[in-house]
Structure 1
Amino acid sequence: MILVDYLPHLMLIVLALLLMSGFPVGAILAGVGVGFGLLGVVIGEYPVQSLFLIPSKIYMSIGENLTYPAVPMLLFMGVALEVSGAARELLLCLQRILGRAPGSMCVSVILIGLLLAPLAGVIGASVATIAAAALPTMMAQRYRPEVASGVIAAAGTLGVIAPPAIMLFFLSDAMELTIGSMFLAPILPILCLAGAFICYFIVIDVLRPRSGAAAMPSENGRSILIYLIRSLVLPVGLIALVLGSIVAGWVSPTESAAVGAIGGGAMIFLYRGFDLALLRQALVRTMVITGMVFFVVLGAGIFSLVFRFYGGDDIAIGLFEDLSIGDFGVLAVVLIILFVLGFFIDWIEITLVSLPILYPAISQLDFSAYVGSEQLARLWIGALVALVLQTSFLTPPFGFALFFLKGAAPDSIRMAQIYRGVIPLVAIQLLMIAAVLLFPALVTILPKAVLGI
């Protein structure tokens, strides 16, 4: 029947319309998949026996994936570091180390974002974590709202793609890459971005000094060595241990995440005493975020099962073949599509639904000669996808991070001030994406050096 040829297109249209309804994404994905499966049964195009594959697909989506068990433990580690107050202590410790240098608080926030935001999991939690730790202190120290909101949005979004970010686990799975290589690929671009952001905020602080800045918090009566161990060495060491063990391949991601989770739980007792209520709070928040993430995973598994049965994988390939724009043209269109999607949906839906739909077309691209090998080319594309999504979350007027920041900020900070604060940062982001496009070695040099690929 002619209708069958259009079923995957109809699935995408229905999915797009329902996503704007506000219903849970996982339920929409599963519902559209099951609904079109039943429709296929009615018109005689989907075997009834295939419906019984859905429970198997639900199990295989998570149960047979060796890296997904690490996700809830890494999320708990991040939540525990926030609940324990380690995030705020680390922020103040970094500022104390930097002293009265221009933009010291901004520099500290960027570093905090690189260390703690990757463990927050989703963009909203990431920005909210940084805002809760930094915004009150920055306002007390007379930072302008544009500067404070800009640095928090930059730090929160930058951390979402910095290892050991949960996003990289799902991105490595979508791009058929190892966790270690996906962790290494974006490190150099991220460090370059962080350096550019830091330079920008230092220049801003020099050109427009703060009037009547409040004094920095002191730690009178404490040994500086004990203070540094407690506030800097322990949280940074825990994160470095988790990240380093995964990249080095000493243990599996799940085992490394388990150590991180135990360490995060211990941080609660170390910083806040033997408070079981705080531990329970951290566990509940972790369960909520984990449930949301894996509900989308399950829904995406059901949707993809039916979508691929109807030949959905051929949609993207056929579209780009008709355009005849070459490999770089196809890559540019894919990145633009993901950039626009990042205005409306979080990275979870993009990496689990949109990217797999586009991946058949991506897999046809041949950048081996340009980048060095087929695997390095996929790493390069994966890093570009991460950078583009991060830029999308930061870009006015629809950027996800901006709305979450407004929700976490006091009423005195207006949306227009947040927009003004992030526009220069978006320009820096776009320059970094252009640099990665022109110089793939920014992505490939570390995986080649460390893993020998």
Structure 2
Amino acid sequence: MLIEYLPHLMLLALVLLLITGFPVGGVLAGVGVAFALLGVAIGEYPLPSLFLIPNKVYQSIGENLTYPAVPMLLFMGVALESSGAARELLLCLQRVFGRIPGSMCISVILIGLLLAPLAGVIGASVATIAVAALPTMLHQRYRPEIATGVVAASGTLGVIAPPAIMLFFLSDALELTIGSMFLSPILPVLGLALAFMAFFVLADVVRRRPGADRSPVAVSGSLPVYLLRGLVLPVGLIALVLGSIVAGWVSPTESAAVGAVGGGAMIFIYRGFDLALLRQALYRTMEITGMVFFVVMGASIFSMVFRFYGGDDIAIGLFDHLALGDFAVLAAVLGIIFVLGFFIDWIEITLVSLPILYPAIQDLDFSLYVGSEQMARVWIGALIALVLQTSFLTPPFGFALFFLKGAAPRSIRMAEIYRGVVPLVAIQLLMIGTVLFFPVIATWLPATVLDLR
């Protein structure tokens, strides 16, 4: 019957239209509606179901308790960047680490972790850190491959460091609590950060350019005031938002509201009573939010029609025919996500690709290997986050690399960026393998803090 091939044709149409460069949200919605109308024409899709599409769109956003936090967290990150707090934090951290080899590299990596709320979009994260850090690093005579490598690493590291926006969408796609999804990648991310720092410190010792000056920027005013302004305020705001969500003191939406107010206050603290800058930050937040939710609405339309035609059975049927074991299926799913990360952003992957693959993930049984069914999903969530982050960093297609080239000075060549990230990708793959064979790295913190079993 024709209906058996409709979900496959939907996927084919989606792929072909996505590579044309049309807006992703429009492609998703257009393919969904077009195949619904095609189904009506051939008698396979009931006409009354067409009128359920607006209700489906409303349910996907209006009745989701997680999504209201997204624009407020985005505004918090945009405000931190617009106010200049990100650059001041970078210079303050460099002064804290003094004349340690690679002190600027260490500072940039920490910036990537601390500015995770801004990492809702790969381009925004990488470009912001590049603008704040690259000129200073090149002025201090860091080699271009080292400077660009650390910016790419820190920009992608923030994508999966809580309270990054991607973790909200992953928790929803994998049916996990926000707290468990926030906690599961923390130890792997800290491990990656420490490994990156060790690598860059060693690289700076071995390959420091002759005459390179790593002296910290001189402090104007008293040191306590400088530390309060440059370090305590932005770090305290991020810690308050993250801690209140994980501890369960308030809902994610309430915590994000506090972060948004704090981010707006940062503009006035750092730049004076500048309403024009506040308005600019609000407009930028609206643009990013509109892009994200346009994709959400399009994905809800596509998934409604796709599931009606039995699309959920595609992934299950594929792996059933291959007769693979649980570990082989998991490796195949992670491999598919890794390749998809070369070509499409995490928003489309979590909203479109992951729901297609999720039925196959649900059938996996790692309860004995990890400890319980719930903890197995937490572990898989951490693995997916790490794989996505690695794909954004991997040449020649990694998203982060192209955004970095666009934000870098013209003197930086693409070959230098590639050389800078190759050893970092090796570190990433090593961490993925470590979490794969030692699940406790991802599950210990959620199990301990949230008392999950």
| Normalised TM-score (structure 1) | 0.99
- The answer (yes or no) to whether the contact 1:391–1:429 under 8 Å persists in 2 is yes
1:120 Cα deviation after fit = 3.0
Q: State the secondary structure of the residue aligned to 1:183.
A: helix
Partner of 1:392: 391
- The answer (yes or no) to whether the contact 2:142–2:208 under 8 Å persists in 1 is no
- The answer (yes or no) to whether the contact 1:342–1:393 under 8 Å persists in 2 is yes
1:216 Cα deviation after fit = 2.5
Alignment of 1:26-105 (within 5 A): 26-105=25-104
1:436 Cα deviation after fit = 0.4
CA–CA separation in structure 2 for the residues paired with 1:65 and 1:102:
47
CA–CA separation in structure 1 for the residues paired with 2:210 and 2:400:
28
Partner of 1:217: 217
What residue ranges of structure 2 are gaps of 5+ in the alignment?
none
Alignment of 1:232-243 (within 5 A): 232-243=231-242
Alignment of 1:51-450 (within 5 A): 51-214=50-213, 215-220=215-220, 222-450=221-449
1:210 Cα deviation after fit = 3.0
CA–CA separation in structure 1 for the residues paired with 2:331 and 2:437:
13
- The residue type equivalent to 1:432 in the other structure is M
Q: State the secondary structure of the residue aligned to 2:115.
A: helix
1:286 Cα deviation after fit = 0.2
1:325 Cα deviation after fit = 1.0
1:119 Cα deviation after fit = 2.5
CA–CA separation in structure 2 for the residues paired with 1:134 and 1:117:
16
CA–CA separation in structure 2 for the residues paired with 1:430 and 1:277:
44
CA–CA separation in structure 2 for the residues paired with 1:178 and 1:54:
27
CA–CA separation in structure 2 for the residues paired with 1:237 and 1:213:
33
Q: State the secondary structure of the residue aligned to 2:142.
A: coil
1:419 Cα deviation after fit = 0.2
- The residue type equivalent to 2:145 in the other structure is E
Q: State the secondary structure of the residue aligned to 1:343.
A: helix
1:213 Cα deviation after fit = 2.6
1:209 Cα deviation after fit = 1.9
CA–CA separation in structure 2 for the residues paired with 1:176 and 1:446:
18
Residue deviations 1:108-162 (CA, integer Å, cap 9, x gap): 0000000014423111111011111111111111111000000000000010000
Percent of aligned pairs with the same residue? 80
1:211 Cα deviation after fit = 2.5
CA–CA separation in structure 1 for the residues paired with 2:390 and 2:253:
29
1:368 Cα deviation after fit = 0.3
- The residue type equivalent to 1:216 in the other structure is P
CA–CA separation in structure 2 for the residues paired with 1:182 and 1:338:
18
Q: State the secondary structure of the residue aligned to 1:120.
A: helix
CA–CA separation in structure 1 for the residues paired with 2:19 and 2:205:
44
CA–CA separation in structure 1 for the residues paired with 2:352 and 2:207:
45
CA–CA separation in structure 2 for the residues paired with 1:118 and 1:271:
19
Residue deviations 1:321-376 (CA, integer Å, cap 9, x gap): 00111100000000000000000000000000000000001000000000011110
CA–CA separation in structure 2 for the residues paired with 1:266 and 1:118:
16
- The answer (yes or no) to whether the contact 2:116–2:163 under 8 Å persists in 1 is no
Q: Which is worse superposed, 210-219 or 38-47?
A: 210-219
1:289 Cα deviation after fit = 0.3
1:15 Cα deviation after fit = 0.2
- The answer (yes or no) to whether the contact 1:117–1:127 under 8 Å persists in 2 is no
Q: State the secondary structure of the residue aligned to 1:370.
A: helix
CA–CA separation in structure 2 for the residues paired with 1:17 and 1:67:
31
CA–CA separation in structure 2 for the residues paired with 1:210 and 1:116:
30
Q: State the secondary structure of the residue aligned to 2:120.
A: coil
Q: State the secondary structure of the residue aligned to 2:100.
A: coil
- The residue type equivalent to 1:396 in the other structure is P
1:178 Cα deviation after fit = 0.4
Residue deviations 1:95-116 (CA, integer Å, cap 9, x gap): 0011111000000000000001
CA–CA separation in structure 1 for the residues paired with 2:73 and 2:149:
27
1:223 Cα deviation after fit = 1.0
CA–CA separation in structure 1 for the residues paired with 2:131 and 2:178:
30
CA–CA separation in structure 2 for the residues paired with 1:305 and 1:169:
21
CA–CA separation in structure 2 for the residues paired with 1:345 and 1:5:
27
CA–CA separation in structure 2 for the residues paired with 1:437 and 1:44:
47
- The answer (yes or no) to whether the contact 1:118–1:161 under 8 Å persists in 2 is no
CA–CA separation in structure 2 for the residues paired with 1:34 and 1:58:
12
1:4 aligned onto 2:28: no
- The residue type equivalent to 1:217 in the other structure is V
1:212 Cα deviation after fit = 2.5
CA–CA separation in structure 2 for the residues paired with 1:119 and 1:381:
24
Q: State the secondary structure of the residue aligned to 1:44.
A: coil
- The residue type equivalent to 1:19 in the other structure is L
What residue ranges of structure 1 are gaps of 5+ in the alignment?
none
CA–CA separation in structure 2 for the residues paired with 1:118 and 1:154:
16
Residue deviations 1:380-421 (CA, integer Å, cap 9, x gap): 001000000100000000000000000000110000000000
